[in-house]
Amino acid sequence: MPGLSHERLYPAPVAGVDEAGRGPLAGPVVAAAVILPPRGVPRGIDDSKKLSAAIRAQLCARLLDCAQVGIGIVEADEIDRLNIHWATMKAMTLAVDALVATHGTPPGHVLVDGNRLPRWDYPATALVGGDALSRSIAAASIVAKHTRDRIMIAHAEAHPQYNWHSNKGYGCRHHLAALRDHGPTSLHRRSFAPVAQAERALSPD
């Protein structure tokens, strides 16, 4: 389980930041920033990829109740304009900005999962594999993943042929087949090769 050793290296409060949704063909990229409380942190916080959807939902609800949380969302059309790297950096920036705006507490330091930092004024450290090392980053990964999954499940109601309630926009076999048969929606990332290829294949000559 990720601990708090990295958080203790920096001035409090320390925010953990992580994202969900870099790889899917459809939907937004979502980032979360989380400052854990000094007491009453929920047990079981871990890298979101290691947790079931039900456990993520429970932990997300508890984190929203006890922690300081900010969420940043960048939609598919902006991902296409910026590219996925810069869209992810923007989502992270929006998440920390939202945390500060909501709770009025600028972080003393920000721990970011990965090897790159957004272009911001916050003191920060990039931590490769941070969701397995830092409890704050792991908490952010849970909030980001659960938030994005809920968004894609809601979109699945309007676009059932793509099976987003199950694949969450990732390029699984069912999703790719639906892309070939029906073409992309406004929620698809047209800068991603499988989406662009499907669009070209269905376009009249």
Annotated binding site for a divalent metal cation: 18-19, 113
Burial (CB count <10 Å: 0-12, 13-18, 19+), residue 184: buried
Q: Residue positions in the annotated binding site?
A: 18-19, 113
Cα–Cα distance list, 85 to 48, 82, 172 (Å):
21, 8, 22
CA angle, 168 then 152 then 180, to 5°: 60
DSSP per-residue letters across 84-149: HHHHHHHHHHHHHHHHHHHH----SEEEEESS---S-SS-EEEETTGGGTBHHHHHHHHHHHHHHH
